[in-house]
Amino acid sequence: MDLFILSVSGGLGAIVRYLVGNIIMEKYPDPPIPMAMLSVNILGALGLGLFYGAYFRYIPMDAYDNLWFLALGIGFFGAFTTFSTFSMEALELFRKKSYQRLVWYVAISLLGSIVMFSVGYGLGLWI
């Protein structure tokens, strides 16, 4: 049953990532940094933080047996966000010698995700 829930929620997260990414790429067809994955990762961090704050009220390190964590934390948000695509896009900026864009992309991605997770977590606690 756990694998079924993980598969469905992960599939939904991947579909939403694809749709959101396409919308952003249509709106910004030639961005200076990869806006689609940057936006998806920051939105995912916000959503995961909101979930943690609202549902758990703390950040559990042993939540793998929790059905909601499996479905939302690992499944949906795990598939919605993507560190592998972030890494590939960062390496591509490096390969193109776009060092300034690379630094901005990495900094905004990492700091933005941490900040937005914190904002989401705080909002979740407030709800």
Question: What is the pTM for the complete model shown?
Answer: 0.92
Across 29-51, b (16+ Cβ under 10 Å) vs e yields eeeebbbbbbbbbbbbbbbbbbb
85 is in an annotated binding site: no
82 is in an annotated binding site: no
Query: How many Cα atoms within 13 Å fall on the side-chain side of residue 114?
Result: 5
Convert the pLDDT of each residue in 22-75 to its tens digit: 999 999 999 999 999 999 999 999 999 999 999 988 777 777 788 999 999 999
What total number of domains does the chain contain? 1
- Which residue's structure tokens are 């695509």? 85
Q: Are 34 and 105 in contact (CB under 8 A)?
A: yes
* Residue 19 domain boundaries: 2-126
